[in-house]
Structure 1
Amino acid sequence: MPRVSSAENNTTGKRSYRDIPSNIIRKLIIEQVAIEGAITQSEAARRYGQHPSTVRSILDAWHVEERMEKKQRGGRRKEALKFEDIKEELESKFPDSAEKNVSTSGLWRFMIERIGFTLKRTKAVEERRNTSETIQQRYEYVVQRLPERGISYKTNCIFVDEAGFNANLIRGQGYSKKGSTSVVVNATKRAVNMSILAAISYHGVEDVSVKLVKGGTTGEIFKQFVDGIMKKLDDTNAAPHFFVMDNASIHKAPAVKELFKNSNHHMCLLPPYSPFLNPIEECFSKMKTLVKRKPHLKGSKNLIEHIKQSTFEVTQENCKGNKRSRLRLSNEQQHAKCNYHLMHSELSQIELGEWAKQQFGLSKNVSQKTISYILSRKDQIFETYGSGDMQKKSNKGVKMPELDEEIENYIVSMNDRGLPVNRAAVVIFYAKVVANRRMYKMNEMPKNRQIKFSDGWLTKVFKRIGVKSRHMYGENNSVDLTSVNIIEELRKIEELLEPYELKNIMNFDETGIYYEQLPTRTISKLPMGGSKKSKKRFTVGILTNCDGSYKAPLVVLGKKAKPKETTKKSILFNRSTAIGGTHHVDYRHSAPSAWMTTKIFEKYIKKLNSSFMYDNNRKVAILVDNASVHKLKTEYSNIKLIFLPANTTSKLQPLDAGGWTTHSKKYYRMDEVDAMYYLADAWNNVTPITIQNCWNHTGILNFKNIQKPIQDETLLPEFELPLDDELVQEFHE
């Protein structure tokens, strides 16, 4: 509950810190001042420790809106639904079933088979995107504004927008052998950023402008781009056009408005949160897909060239936004349709298509052409019923099964060399194999005899040989632990670690936590939308020894000297940043980027050295990567910093082996204080066995005889903590 201060308790003569009033305080002020008239506004301000302007705002909200509660500011995004949440909700509503302990697999089967829920990639959507007000604005735009102003998307519209490109753009998935990871090696994490301005019409791409990002696109740059398009239209004596764009601030800049005012053309702003009403978004998606397929996007010149080349591959159909859809029936559905036709032979083929839509829950009627084709094959359908997969929609056999092994060997060889493989590369390789086997060139064959390699065929080949498109991540393929230099450095590390016991060999590393980002997948029945990813982050420093008996409190680096949430949740946050009796973090201010610095790292090591000195003069060795912030000039009496070989942390650093990541991914979308609490909670949940397995995975201590993982609980470091867990429980209630 927020702190309530009074004038009698204010002995310093200064007004105490003003908390945001809770709904309880707001209700008391409204009842005693506005409804009962028992006290004045100034008396209410003194009694409840609020500023007079705050009291006036509360009373204004009551008189104008009849609102007693605080107004929600923005609100939190809807979190992705998890199995734990579903199970907990079911157990709360049906307490009798909780004793039966419903398994996760049983819940999964029920959701998939009975109610049609599937796991999909989440898509963030702004909260106001589908409100009644926004939908009404879209309706008025389409039904009223477009006809009233004579706007036709096909004849007199130019669609304008901006898009961003990055030199490190890669395809989200790549093919690799089953059980192995697809990896893409980038020269650096930071790459060249580009911003493009593009304009299209119903008839194709009108203009594209590419520029380096330096502060973002401004109203002046946008004005120059639009002016160039206007001049092209005027040179061809074109009729006045409407420039359709979203309502970004640069589109409504005074210079842009003045430009349209002095021309024959007009500005047409889309309703808010309605980018899908602009067809250019489809073109940007096509352009980014084309750019991702281009290899070696290094440097601004190459990226600009690829972007320009992609504009020539955007077709008129892409600008029109036309999408072909194909409706096919499974073998089971075709058999049911033929049976129904036998019993109702009087129905026309169009009526059979309508029946199929209702019977099978299809999105549209089955076309008359498809019905005719199915009925022409009804004898074959009845004859083959029950043989094979009845859910398949095609019964075509494999024409060249002997060549599947060639594709498998090609993909394996590319993966072994650390090179990504896409569908186009596999098709080119397959075409060469077929040409060499049959001793002819594909382009010299008659068109009716040429072999076509469709996407459907390629998907089935991948399924037969056991490969699929996978995300490429990590840097393992760029590390060669067999090189002479790395072997020599590892030998030196072994010599330095030899005198130390296992419990005194430790590893320290930093990682970034984006605590407001939502996961990319959720459980839903239909595709879900999303919004921009938040870039608010912490840098978290982690220290543990190799047997898991020592886990130091997390070092949390933030941009703010004191997060604003600490004023609302001061009960969970004080100068030592203790959050409960067992949840402790060491918060440090690191402006402006929240990154580890040499100064902060030096203070942390100095503090650790003192604590180990008083712990029976304990001598420890700490493995760290060779980042510049870790290279301290001072030598410490009880701590020896040992640096891992350059660019080998992905394979040799224990804290990069995944134990911490598994637990930290459980928490998302919260404020700074909540984030620190759950980070500490996640670190407490990492078991000694997990830590020891991470060290064993790297193999950096293979020269020592490592004991079996300990089974007892982790021994937390002893700190003077002023708070206890009862306060944490009160906070969550």
Structure 2
Amino acid sequence: MSCYPKTEAALLVWFTQMLSKNCCLNGPVMLEKAMFFSQTFNEGIPPSSWLQRFRKRQNINFHNVCNEKGSADIINANEWSRNTLPSLIKDYQRSNIYNCDETGLYYRALPKGTMEFSGTQPLGFKPDKEKVTVLFIINGDGSDKNLYVVGKFKNPRCFKNKKLPVKYYSNKSSSMTTSTFEDILKEWDSSLKKKILLFCDNASCHKTKLTFNNIKLIFLPANTTSLIQPLDMGAIRSFKCHYRKGIMRKMITLMEGNDTISFYKRFTLYDSLYLIKFAWGEVTSTTIIKCFINFLISLWHLIRNRRMI
């Protein structure tokens, strides 16, 4: 017997309707809609565990419709953290120690799987492969969070007569390149009012011969970024979680009145830039501070009585 009878009945009807439109429905999407119904019927907010029981009662299964750390150099990472890192940061306050990293984002990608009634086989569809690259720059106390997006097209139609919410660059591959990275750092360097230390991985696109007035660029050792790079300690993951949650909410709104194909047509790159900005804003300074603590944890054992961090 369900503790949320009205919510469960409404969700089952909605689920059946969405299946008829060949929509992809995963756990977060289902739970988001269940919360909407529960608030509508004043039945309280169902916990995430309730969804598992709902699926079992209604005989609903999940199907796939398309189907670094193991190579990290732990010894080199520990050696660098203990012997090289202390001398690098000794003259910098925590707020002046930065990290940058980028990630690829399929900005219109729908869930890879969907829920279906047992005994049925869901129809697959061609996934959307339009991608942007997002560059993040953060500092050690979470007080400064910068964001840049690299896309494929310089002036897409959806940008016409509109002010962009984030800094946007373009190239044919929609990936980070040395020239794009240099352009970003030059513009950022000119706006800085302080001397900062910027850590980044040793990817070829980051290898620049330029020198900057306010930025001292330091490359992390090869094959260690998954172990010691702050942005890889949870900040990027948090951003993507917030972004996907926003996508799911947008998808629910669109697919209830239209088929899922219209999602690709109606959710533009311009819309994505706003969602990227919102999702990055949802990443808290607490999350960023924890990421830097992991980065500096080895150093803390060496200098615990010094106020360097």
TM-score normalised by L of structure 1: 0.33
Question: Which amino acid in the other structure matches residue 85 of structure 1?
Answer: E
Mapped partners of 1:113, 1:77: distance in 2: 21
Mapped partners of 2:144, 2:71: distance in 1: 32
SS of equivalent to 2:135: strand
Choose which of 130, 145, 150 in structure 2 pairs with 1:557: 150
Per-residue deviation, 1:608: 1.5
Determine whether 1:123 maps to 2:72.
no
Question: What corresponds to 2:221 in structure 1?
Answer: 645
Q: Whose RCO is larger (CA < 8 A, sep 6+)?
A: 2
Question: What corresponds to 1:630 in structure 2?
Answer: 206
Per the alignment, do residues 510 and 705 of structure 1 end up closer, same or farther by CA in structure 2, a change over 3 Å counting? farther
CA-to-partner distance for each residue in 1:61-115, whole Å, 9 max, x for gaps? xxxxxxxxxxxxxxx98343513432244146xx3425x3333333442x13432
Mapped partners of 1:610, 1:83: distance in 2: 47
Determine whether 1:546 maps to 2:136.
no
Q: Would you say the 8 A contact 2:199–2:219 is kept in 1? A: yes
Determine whether 1:102 maps to 2:46.
yes
Determine whether 1:83 maps to 2:30.
yes
Q: CA RMSD in A?
A: 2.8
Mapped partners of 1:619, 1:682: distance in 2: 28
Per the alignment, do residues 493 and 528 of structure 1 end up closer, same or farther by CA in structure 2, a change over 3 Å counting? same
Structure 2: gaps (5+ residues): 1-20, 248-263
Per-residue deviation, 1:605: 1.1
Mapped partners of 1:542, 1:687: distance in 2: 14
Per the alignment, do residues 77 and 629 of structure 1 end up closer, same or farther by CA in structure 2, a change over 3 Å counting? farther
Determine whether 1:660 maps to 2:257.
no
Question: By percentage of residues, which structure has more strand?
Answer: 2
Per the alignment, do residues 705 and 558 of structure 1 end up closer, same or farther by CA in structure 2, a change over 3 Å counting? farther
Per-residue deviation, 1:624: 0.5
Mapped partners of 2:202, 2:88: distance in 1: 16
Q: Would you say the 8 A contact 2:142–2:285 is kept in 1? A: yes
Which range moved further: 678-687 or 659-668? 659-668
Q: Would you say the 8 A contact 1:489–1:645 is kept in 2? A: no
SS of equivalent to 1:623: strand
Question: What corresponds to 1:201 in structure 2?
Answer: none
Per the alignment, do residues 662 and 77 of structure 1 end up closer, same or farther by CA in structure 2, a change over 3 Å counting? farther
Question: Which amino acid in the other structure matches residue 481 of structure 1?
Answer: I
SS of equivalent to 2:95: helix
Per the alignment, do residues 658 and 488 of structure 1 end up closer, same or farther by CA in structure 2, a change over 3 Å counting? closer
| Structure exhibiting the larger radius of gyration computed from Cα positions | 1
Choose which of 110, 113, 117 in structure 2 pairs with 1:518: 110
Question: What corresponds to 1:599 in structure 2?
Answer: 179
Mapped partners of 1:96, 1:488: distance in 2: 57
SS of equivalent to 1:97: coil
Percent of residue pairs identical: 32
Per-residue deviation, 1:595: 1.3
Q: Would you say the 8 A contact 1:695–1:701 is kept in 2? A: no
Mapped partners of 2:230, 2:95: distance in 1: 14
Structure 1: gaps (5+ residues): 1-75, 125-171, 173-474, 579-584, 707-733
Per-residue deviation, 1:540: 0.6
SS of equivalent to 1:702: helix
Question: What corresponds to 1:678 in structure 2?
Answer: 275
Mapped partners of 1:611, 1:652: distance in 2: 28
Mapped partners of 2:143, 2:98: distance in 1: 11
Q: Would you say the 8 A contact 1:493–1:642 is kept in 2? A: no
CA-to-partner distance for each residue in 1:679-700, whole Å, 9 max, x for gaps? 1111011111111222233446
Per the alignment, do residues 537 and 705 of structure 1 end up closer, same or farther by CA in structure 2, a change over 3 Å counting? farther
Question: Which amino acid in the other structure matches residue 231 of structure 2?
Answer: L
Per-residue deviation, 1:547: 1.8
Q: Would you say the 8 A contact 1:502–1:546 is kept in 2? A: yes
Q: Would you say the 8 A contact 2:98–2:197 is kept in 1? A: yes
Per the alignment, do residues 700 and 597 of structure 1 end up closer, same or farther by CA in structure 2, a change over 3 Å counting? farther
CA-to-partner distance for each residue in 1:362-401, whole Å, 9 max, x for gaps? xxxxxxxxxxxxxxxxxxxxxxxxxxxxxxxxxxxxxxxx
Q: Which aligned pairs between 1:283-432 and structure 2 lie closer than 5 A? A: none
Question: Which amino acid in the other structure matches residue 506 of structure 1?
Answer: Y
Mapped partners of 2:189, 2:59: distance in 1: 58
Q: Which aligned pairs between 1:610-625 and structure 2 lie closer than 5 A? A: 610-613=190-193, 618-625=194-201
Mapped partners of 2:292, 2:111: distance in 1: 28
